[in-house]
Amino acid sequence: MADWRLDERMHAGDEHLDPDYVARYERKAGFDPADDIDVLHRHGLTGDTVVVDMGAGTGVFTAAVAPLCHKVIAVDISPMMIAALRSRVERDGLGNVSVVEAGFLSYDHDTEPADIVYTRNALHQLPDFWKAIALQRLFAMLRPGGILRVRDLVFDFEPGDADSSIEAWFSGAVTDPAVGFTAEELATHVRTEFSTYSWLLEPILERVGFTVLDCHYERSAYGTYTCVRRAA
């Protein structure tokens, strides 16, 4: 059969394959996972929990959750991110973290079902057709009752409001690319990546078998979802 599968590495985002960008990524992203950890504690995170961090990047979330759970499987498609992640795991002595170079569409979860799947700012690398398949695959990794926490760039506005909403979003961008994302970078994101609308993503989550327990949006461009996996 002709090969119809997506090349995930080609869609990983050029910057994520650039060692210089990867070295600067954490300062730029300024990501603090404390809120995610709080929410996950409220949804059953314990010392027995198995966590998958999909699109783990340099491992900020992985390193925060590892001391609080049984095991973390940190997955990323970029060999450069994987190298940074492995160094962090070694440096911090995180003996319960497995690092896997793979993606949403290719990771083979051949161990016990996960209790929690977490993914932040990675799903938008995939067009919607693939996003739905990716979410179905995350569903299949989780035990029934398991929790999916998704954070991503998601557009929470109507198509007719795109001009004003995107303009308002860009107006809050930084000017120094070392400490955040500039309007130019956000524009590249809109033009070349696959952020979807909130009103499409919510039904996709439900369709593949999740119940969305909570979702909220910030600046009409960032969505956070806490979902529970229904029984098959």
Ligand X SMILES: C[S@@+](CC[C@H](N)C(=O)[O-])C[C@H]1O[C@@H](n2cnc3c(N)ncnc32)[C@H](O)[C@@H]1O
Q: Give me the residues that bind ligand X (CB under 6 A), please.
A: 8, 12-13, 16, 29, 31, 54-57, 60, 76-78, 81, 103-104, 120-122, 125-126
Residue closer to ligand X by CB (options 106, 198) is 106
Residue nearest to ligand X (CB): 57
Which are the contacts of 7, defined by CB distance < 8 A and separation ≥ 6?
A: none
Q: What number of other Cβ atoms are within 10 A of residue 84's Cβ?
A: 20
Those residues with Cβ within 8 angstroms of residue 160's Cβ, 6 or more apart along the chain or in another chain: none
Q: How far is the CB of 165 from ligand X (least distance, A)?
A: 21
Q: Which is nearer to ligand X, 23 or 164 (CB)?
A: 23
**Minimum distance from CB of 160 to ligand X (Å)?**
29
Q: How far is residue 184's CA from residue 188's CA, in Å, rounded to a whole number? A: 6
For the bound state, the minimum distance from the C-beta of residue 121 to ligand X, rounded and expressed in Å, comes to: 4
Name beta bridge partners: 159.
none
Between residues 5 and 159, which has the closer beta carbon with respect to ligand X? 5
Q: What are phi and psi of 34, to 5 degrees?
A: -60, -40
**Residue among 81 and 148 whose Cβ is closer to ligand X:** 81
Token pair belonging to 210: 């999740």
What is the C-alpha to C-alpha distance for residues 14 and 97, in angstroms, rounded to an integer? 26
Contacts for 146 with CB less than 8 Å, ≥ 6 apart = 113, 114, 115, 116, 117, 228, 229
In the bound state with ligand X, the residue whose beta carbon lies nearer, of 12 and 154, is 12
Nearest distance, CB of residue 81 and ligand X, angstroms: 4
